[in-house]
Structure 1
Amino acid sequence: MLTFPTRYLFALQARRKLTCHTITTLSYTDDFTLWPTYFSGPEQRILLTAALRKLDRMDSRAARQQRKAYRLNTTCGSSLQHVFLPDAYYEFEEGHYDGVIHNFREMHLTCWPQDVNGLLPILTRLHSLCPTPKTQTHLLHLASQGYIRPHIDNIDASGSWILGVSLGGERILRMEGPTEDHGNFDIVLPSGSVYLQKNAMRFTFKHSILKGESKDTCQRLSIMIRDVPSPC
């Protein structure tokens, strides 16, 4: 089994490759593929704007009013991180019912906003990566210090694959095999990346999103698309 320093070095090496845009697709195993620069900056902004709009509707009226007042009185920058408001303006939950996710907002998405210009072709590109057509979508917004503990997906509650879009702060996805023979590895997930995790990598390897290691860690939003499990 790889030791932590070696795994972390692997993550840093991947970071340098992604920054240079020298790799467009990385296949770590037959069951895990990463597209590190799948979405451009403008495409990321459109996706993030649409996803936050849906999530924001779930917060209380007081929270929505506070966000509106903040936007009216604040000049925001042009970077993708400025699409997010400060953590205090969102109603993040401290812990999930199963103890896996911490400092987050989430929702099951039934439809996207119809009035976000340029969204439809982006979603078409995204869904072109799905192995099967029948899907369900989940939005997960992590606070700056939010994280996901190691877990294995419930095979009875989901299908065989999951497609994940990362928007906002860069994080590390850690994959931990069930035995030393399987090995462990870390994968850097930059904003705009998409990964496909399926079969054994979903139901054999524990996976987690590590907590940010510095005070400058940013918020992160994931769009998770799963295949719908077959009826019994």
Structure 2
Amino acid sequence: MLTFCRRVPIKRLLRRLHNEAAANPNNTNSLIKFHGKWPVLEQDEFTQHMRIISNFITVEEEQQLHEEIEPYMSRLRYETDHWDDAIQGFRETERKKWYPHNRAVLERVRQVAFDGAIMPYVHILDLAADGVIKPHVDSTRYCGNTISGISLLSDSVMRLVRTDAEKYQQGNTASNDKEKDTAYRHQPVPLRDDNFYADLLLPRRSLYIMSHTARYNFTHEILANEHATFCGNPVQKTRRISIICRNEP
């Protein structure tokens, strides 16, 4: 966990965290802030299964990815309500074919984040400055044990809150709840009584890798600007594009 947190200008904080991540690429704890009373074993599992790689792509690679997707995304309008009520202020699409230099970046994601192949269609989620992603767990029906995303254009704060995995799995297979079973994103009730969760700073051009325990047992969300802080410092999200890879269920 963080060895110290104090209020400093966010740019200075990010620069310090970038330097820490560059010095020790295998240690992402500086980008994770734990809240509440975590069971020791669960916190250890979480740090193994929730990783953030700062500066995963270069400024040039970010620009190339953006240039490829922007002509299409700019023709879409931002939606205020998602069909499953999990996102507000967003545009999204999927893309299978990429320019060779961008395909090389996605191959790097595959090598770092996945044991095998990734799903052929890559999800692109464009979140407006005032957009939010509500707490949810991606359905096991449509996604395997790992979700990995590159953050373009903006820093943001992701929050993961422990949920009741057993009840969630039962809800997925309940014969009298077909709507939940077919939903792309589920919104289970977090275990508020346990009062432990984690805030993650996702710097621009970073890669997050959410797998196993972190993927199944926690809701994840992107906080609205009025709630987004890290180490007591406000993190002002502007327009954010995430390029999300998944493996097969």
Q: Same fold (TM over 0.5)?
A: yes
Counterpart in the other structure of 1:221 = 241
Q: How many residues align?
A: 187
Cα distance change, pair 227–14 in 1 and its aligned pair in 2 (3 A):
farther
Pairwise CA distance, 1:16: 5.6
Separation of aligned partners in 2, 1:49 and 1:109: 14
SS at match of 1:39: coil
Task: Report the residue type matching 1:226 in the other structure.
Answer: R
Does 1:184 pair with 2:197? Answer: yes
Query: 1:70-219, aligned counterparts within 5 Å?
Result: 91-113=77-99, 118-136=101-119, 137-178=122-163, 179=191, 183-213=196-226, 217-219=237-239
Counterpart in the other structure of 2:43 = none
Pairwise CA distance, 1:7: 10
Is the 2:156–2:235 Cα contact (8 Å) retained in structure 1?
no
Cα distance change, pair 8–177 in 1 and its aligned pair in 2 (3 A):
farther
Separation of aligned partners in 2, 1:161 and 1:189: 17
Q: Taking structure 2 as the reference length, what is the TM-score of the superposition? A: 0.66
SS at match of 2:113: coil
Separation of aligned partners in 2, 1:144 and 1:152: 23
For the aligned residue pairs, the C-alpha RMSD in angstroms reads 2.9
Listed as ranges, the gaps of 5+ residues in structure 1 are 1-5, 60-89
Q: Deviations over 1:180-205 (max 9, x none)?
A: 55820100111110011011211210
Pairwise CA distance, 1:54: 4.2
Pairwise CA distance, 1:219: 0.3
Listed as ranges, the gaps of 5+ residues in structure 2 are 30-45, 164-190, 227-233
Is the 1:24–1:37 Cα contact (8 Å) retained in structure 2?
no
Task: Report the residue type matching 1:24 in the other structure.
Answer: P
Separation of aligned partners in 1, 2:88 and 2:5: 24
Pairwise CA distance, 1:134: 2.5
Cα distance change, pair 183–17 in 1 and its aligned pair in 2 (3 A):
farther
Pairwise CA distance, 1:53: 3.4
Counterpart in the other structure of 2:25 = 24
Is the 1:23–1:36 Cα contact (8 Å) retained in structure 2?
no
Pairwise CA distance, 1:55: 2.9
Separation of aligned partners in 2, 1:183 and 1:91: 37
Q: Greater relative contact order (Cα 8 A, min sep 6): structure 1 or 2?
A: 2
Cα distance change, pair 215–38 in 1 and its aligned pair in 2 (3 A):
closer
Pairwise CA distance, 1:17: 3.6
Q: Taking structure 1 as the reference length, what is the TM-score of the superposition? A: 0.70
Separation of aligned partners in 2, 1:36 and 1:227: 22
SS at match of 1:166: strand
